[in-house]
Amino acid sequence: MSRTFRVCAALAVLAVVVTSCKSNSSSAGGSTGPDTSATIVHGTTDSIVSLDPAGQYDLGSQQISAQIYDNLLVIPPGGNKPELSAAQACSYDNPTTYTCTLKPGLKFSDGSALTSADVAFSLKRNLEINDPNGACSLLNAINKPGADGCKWNPASISTPDDATVTFHLNAPDATWPFILTTTAAYIVPSDVFPETKEQPDDKVIGSGHYILEKYTPGQQVVLKPNPTWWGDPPANAGVIVQYFDKSSALKLALEQGDVDVGWRTFTPTDVEAMRGESSLQVLTGPGSEIRYLVFNESFPQGKELAVRKAVAMTVDRQAIVHDVYNDTVAPLWSMVPSALSGHVDAFKDLYGDAPDIAAATQTLKDAGITTPVPLEIWWTPTHYGDSSADEYAEIKRSLEASGLFTVSLKSTEWDAYITAALTDQYPQYELGWFPDYPDSDNYVYTFYSKSSFLNDHYSNPQIEKLLADERASTDQSQRDKDFEQIQKIGAQDVPVVPIWEGKQLAVARQGVTGVQQTLDVAYIFRYWLVGKSS
Amino acid sequence: MKRSGSLRSYVITRVLLAFPMLLILLTVVFLLMRVAPGDPITAALGGRVSAEELARRRHDAGYDRPLPIQYLEYLRGVATLNLGTTILDNRPMTQVIAQNGAATLELSFFAMIVAMVSGVGIGLIAGRYRDTAADLGGRLFGIVLYAAPVFFLGFLAQLTFGKWLDWLPTSGQTSPIVGATLATHTNLLVIDTIIDRNWTAFQDVVRHLIMPSVVLGLVIGGVFIRLVRVNLLQTMKGDYVEAARARGVKEGRVVYKHAFKNALVPVITIMGLEFAVLLSGAVLTEETFNWPGIGSELVRYLDNRDYIAVQGIIVVTGIVVVIVSLAIDILNAWVDPRIRY
């Protein structure tokens, strides 16, 4: 018995010792200036598909790649237009020729020189590898004309010297500078990366702010500052990215101080709970993620303009934003988010910012449509988060409360859903969108072009002309006017109803600095700006 | 001699039966993954590109090839012990099994210890002191643990010991800083930190292990509590127990030396069955505690329709369950001479 007692006592002591030895690595309280010797721990629910630019088209991979690689152009913090990064000058020679000159003395993190040949190689291999999970389709402007899928066109890029790269575009394309900021245009060293296959994730190198020091798939990424980076050094001594399966686990780790900053993605409930924590700061910035309702015009209800307009007038966006998302999102009044150049509140201007039942009733009456109009609306339960169910319950409520509609909500899981939605099987359905680059073209072209992936059978020649004009123009103010016009026509035609736009939202421990600066429409968490107060 | 021969033929039969069983498992998983809507391309890029572009990419990736061809290719891979590379993140399956499997093994091992200590200990006390407060408490404890979902207990433990008391970390296998500097030799972090004599990291690893292993262990232990108690009560009615008592052997010795040992035999059998339960429980536990085991990876790969990863994980898990249940059968036969196959 005494031996048993001794064993129990020893175990109890061990338990006390182990539990009392809790490390306290969190920083709380703030003083002045960032402590550049501090390591930042970033928690996220994103995941990585590939760290080779040729194999990625997802936010999780892009987030880490943006730290490791450099682009000719980047979206600056708080901005929504490309600015020079590896390039010291870029301009259109004519609408189909775009030339960039590299900054002198650029180096990859292994010390080798970065030349125009590396830029050409990076884009070429992206097209040649043609990874089904990759973003080579973004390089359509230099793709081999007439090719089925991604194919390198040798005539598309010329490098007259080590510092100059000229892109010969297939057609006038004002979005090309934006494309050069994306994952498809990260610069990789031609003597390290294979030309026709992908580089192993743990062996990638670039010329960005950080070097990949360690990568444990699904668990952790460790980054340390790149000593060959051409710009200012980061506000920290390195970053550890910790991956979480669930928002709730990330929230607990933040509260415990195991994580300094959490970014992407918290549920509205978790955000609400963390707003009350004195050790945490909930920070928001403009976002570019949107949700919308699509009408397929091959179905009877979708074909009726009056029905589409009446729905746009009746949906209660404010109730969705407040009651479903706890104000973590904002009402969307155009298919272009409010932070982008050229945005106008087209739907608000046309239909008001609250449900207008009288106007909706009149619109349907004028069109001779008998009410209530039956609507079958499809949504998907998990792909867009757990709140989708509440969102569509609220849409049903507001539409039926008007007395003008009877709504039948139907749902199915994402894989079956998206295929059916895009192949004329659903009359009305929800979708969401993250931009490839923060330009209004990436929205208006996607949703209003007759070649839209939505396959909603909407087409308007006036919009087609405006889209061609904005793509051919290198004058941003003229493009903005075209975008405004497209949005106004889109609000009149209502092939899609904008519902809400996301806000960038991060939660940081008190004393963590620089987070607010990086919350913008580019959806890149710029680690080099984040520090801890000393 | 006869018994030894019987056991040998049983083992050989079991090993031979394992092959068709695994083939059935493989086939079912293969078909389920293909019959269910979706594929890795749609999971990753659906909602961003047109239906035609999705189809083209599916074709480029070879997901639209005839099922028999895909099936035969997969069988060939398994037969040559090549489980392939994950579609989602290009990881060799051997790496997934080695890294994430080790994390699950570590969790399961300590959870089984917790299950055995709590289950056998409480069951023994409940059986020994039948119809007392200790018995009632033990039974109630066992039923509650048996009935409670592991994720529910996990959340309660996280809130209590993590958030409110701040005694233990709530997620992960290590704290981020320790994980960033830790060298791995076996992927079993407790062992690795001991090999490196890195006692700070050892403490960190053990602290992270406590909550998930105790929660999972207690849930499994609920079954053992009830089983040990019932078996003990049964064996206490045995003739040899009566005989021991008649010989004047003290009650404590009767219980612990005579009845208890025999009461443990069915527990060994149940251990084999519980091992499969333990692995399925580990999936939920790993999800709850952000434990980087093979269970949480299975969920991630399932979400992304990664055929190769899901098939590989299930096949390996199936093999492990077969081996463990075979080992338990052999152990049972060795422990109890009355057992014949």
Residue A55: list chain B partners with CB under 8 A. Answer: 90
Residue A414: list chain B partners with CB under 8 A. Answer: 38, 42-43, 46
With H, G, I as helix, E, B as strand and everything else as coil, classify residue A488.
helix
**Contacts of residue A472, Cβ cutoff 8 Å, sequence gap at least 6:** A95, A172, A174
Q: Which of A356, A394, A354, A402 is nearest to A377 (CA)?
A: A394
Q: In terms of DSSP bridges, do strands A87-94 and A73-74 run parallel, antiparallel, or are they unpaired? A: unpaired
**Contacts of residue A132, Cβ cutoff 8 Å, sequence gap at least 6:** B41, B45, B57, B58, B60, B61
Mean pLDDT, to the nearest integer, of A345-364?
97
Residue B95: list chain A partners with CB under 8 A. Answer: 217
Q: Does the beta carbon of B295 lie under 8 angstroms from any beta carbon of chain A?
A: no
> Are B51 and A424 in contact, with CB atoms under 8 Å apart?
no
pLDDT number for residue B283: 86
Q: Under an 8 A CB cutoff, do B166 and A242 touch? A: no
> Are A352 and A456 in contact, with CB atoms under 8 Å apart?
no
Q: Which of A71, A72, A45, A70 is nearest to A59 (CA)?
A: A45
> Are A506 and A237 in contact, with CB atoms under 8 Å apart?
no
CB atoms within 10 A of CB A116: 22
Domain identity same for B52 and B160: no
* Amino acid in the structure at residue B334: W
Q: Helices B265-289 & B199-236, crossing angle to 10 degrees?
A: 140
Phi/psi at A107 (5° precision): -135, 150
Mean pLDDT, to the nearest integer, of B247-253?
84
Give the domain range for residue B57.
Answer: 2-79
Q: Under an 8 A CB cutoff, do B292 and A47 touch? A: no
Domain identity same for B118 and B49: no
- Calculate how close chain A gets to B195, using CA atoms only, in Å: 19
Q: Which helix (H) or strand (E) holds B154?
A: helix B150-157
In the structure, what pLDDT confidence band is assigned to residue B255 with cuts at 50, 70 and 90? confident
Say whether pLDDT at A15 is over 70.
Answer: no
Judge whether B92 lies within some domain. Answer: no
Q: Does the beta carbon of B229 lie under 8 angstroms from any beta carbon of chain A?
A: no
Q: Does the beta carbon of A468 lie under 8 angstroms from any beta carbon of chain B?
A: no
Say whether pLDDT at A290 is over 70.
Answer: yes
Among B79, B109, B138, identify where a domain stops: B79
Judge whether B339 lies within some domain. Answer: no
Q: Which of A193, A163, A180, A220 is nearest to A84 (CA)?
A: A180
> Are B305 and A418 in contact, with CB atoms under 8 Å apart?
no
Say whether pLDDT at B19 is over 90.
Answer: no
Say whether pLDDT at A512 is over 70.
Answer: yes
Say whether pLDDT at A478 is over 80.
Answer: yes
Say whether pLDDT at B291 is over 90.
Answer: yes
Number of structural domains (chain B) is 2
Q: Does the beta carbon of B177 lie under 8 angstroms from any beta carbon of chain A?
A: yes
Judge whether B275 lies within some domain. Answer: yes
pLDDT in tens, A363-416: 999 999 999 999 999 999 988 888 899 999 999 999 999 999 999 999 998 888
pLDDT in tens, A38-95: 999 999 999 899 999 999 998 999 999 999 999 999 999 999 999 999 999 999 999 9
Domain identity same for B172 and B280: yes
> Are A236 and A247 in contact, with CB atoms under 8 Å apart?
no
Q: Does the beta carbon of B45 lie under 8 angstroms from any beta carbon of chain A?
A: yes
Tell me how many helices (H) and strands (E) chain A has: 17, 19
Q: Under an 8 A CB cutoff, do A258 and B37 touch? A: no
Taking only Cα atoms into account, the Rg of chain A, rounded to an integer number of angstroms, comes to 25
CA closest to B286 among chain A residues: A245
Q: Does the beta carbon of A433 lie under 8 angstroms from any beta carbon of chain B?
A: yes
Phi/psi at A171 (5° precision): -155, 160
pLDDT in tens, A238-267: 999 999 988 989 999 999 999 999 998 899
Residue A201: list chain B partners with CB under 8 A. Answer: 89-90
Domain identity same for B34 and B119: no
Among B50, B79, B108, identify where a domain stops: B79
Residue B213: list chain A partners with CB under 8 A. Answer: none
Mean pLDDT, to the nearest integer, of B302-320?
87
Provide the token pair at A65: 């790649």
CATH of the domain at B266: 1.10.3720.10
Provide the token pair at A111: 């010390």
> Which of A217, A220, A418 comes nearest B42 by C-beta?
A418
Q: Helices B199-236 & B150-157, crossing angle to 10 degrees?
A: 130
Report how far apart, in Å, the C-alpha atoms of A238 and of each of A176, A202, B179 are. Answer: 32, 17, 14
Domain identity same for B48 and B109: no
Provide the token pair at A521: 């429409």
Instruction: Report the C-alpha gap between A277 and A279 in whole angstroms.
Output: 5
In the structure, what pLDDT confidence band is assigned to residue A27 with cuts at 50, 70 and 90? very low
Domain identity same for B136 and B235: yes
In the structure, what pLDDT confidence band is assigned to residue A346 with cuts at 50, 70 and 90? very high
With a CB-CB cutoff of 8 Å, which residues 355-414 of chain A face chain B?
Answer: 383, 413-414
> Which of A55, A57, A201 comes nearest B45 by C-beta?
A57
Domain identity same for B179 and B291: yes
- Calculate how close chain B gets to A42, using CA atoms only, in Å: 9
Q: Under an 8 A CB cutoff, do B177 and A137 touch? A: no
Residue A432: list chain B partners with CB under 8 A. Answer: 47
- For the purposes of burial, counting CB atoms within 10 Å of the CB of B273, is it exposed (0-12), middle (13-18) or buried (19 or more)? middle
pLDDT in tens, A204-240: 999 999 999 999 998 999 999 999 999 999 999 999 9
pLDDT number for residue A86: 98
Judge whether B159 lies within some domain. Answer: yes
In the structure, what pLDDT confidence band is assigned to residue A13 with cuts at 50, 70 and 90? very low
**Contacts of residue A469, Cβ cutoff 8 Å, sequence gap at least 6:** A478, A482
CA closest to B86 among chain A residues: A49
With H, G, I as helix, E, B as strand and everything else as coil, classify residue A190.
coil
> Are B299 and B313 in contact, with CB atoms under 8 Å apart?
no
Q: Does the beta carbon of A277 lie under 8 angstroms from any beta carbon of chain B?
A: no
Mean pLDDT, to the nearest integer, of B193-219?
95
Domain identity same for B152 and B63: no
Judge whether B287 lies within some domain. Answer: yes
What 3 state SS string does A227-245 have? CCCCCCCCCCCEEEEEECC
With H, G, I as helix, E, B as strand and everything else as coil, classify residue B30.
helix
Q: Which helix (H) or strand (E) holds A295?
A: strand A280-295
Judge whether B89 lies within some domain. Answer: no
Report how far apart, in Å, the C-alpha atoms of A6 and of each of A15, A114, B117 are. Answer: 14, 66, 16
With H, G, I as helix, E, B as strand and everything else as coil, classify residue A348.
helix
Phi/psi at A10 (5° precision): -65, -40
Instruction: Report the C-alpha gap between A226 and B330 in whole angstroms.
Output: 57
pLDDT number for residue A447: 96
Domain identity same for B161 and B302: yes
Domain identity same for B147 and B296: yes
Domain identity same for B156 and B20: no
Domain identity same for B123 and B258: yes
With H, G, I as helix, E, B as strand and everything else as coil, classify residue A332.
coil
Is A48 or A24 the better-scoring residue by pLDDT?
A48
Judge whether B43 lies within some domain. Answer: yes
> Which of B47, B176, B203 comes nearest A432 by C-beta?
B47
pLDDT in tens, B47-77: 888 888 888 888 888 888 898 998 998 888 8
Provide the token pair at A277: 């924590």
Mean pLDDT, to the nearest integer, of B212-227?
90
Q: Under an 8 A CB cutoff, do A41 and B176 touch? A: yes
Is B44 or A516 the better-scoring residue by pLDDT?
A516
With a CB-CB cutoff of 8 Å, which residues 471-530 of chain A face chain B?
Answer: none
pLDDT number for residue B4: 52
Instruction: Report the C-alpha gap between B101 and B188 in whole angstroms.
Output: 9
Among B79, B114, B141, identify where a domain stops: B79
Cis peptide bond prior to A372, omega within 30° of 0: yes
Judge whether B341 lies within some domain. Answer: no
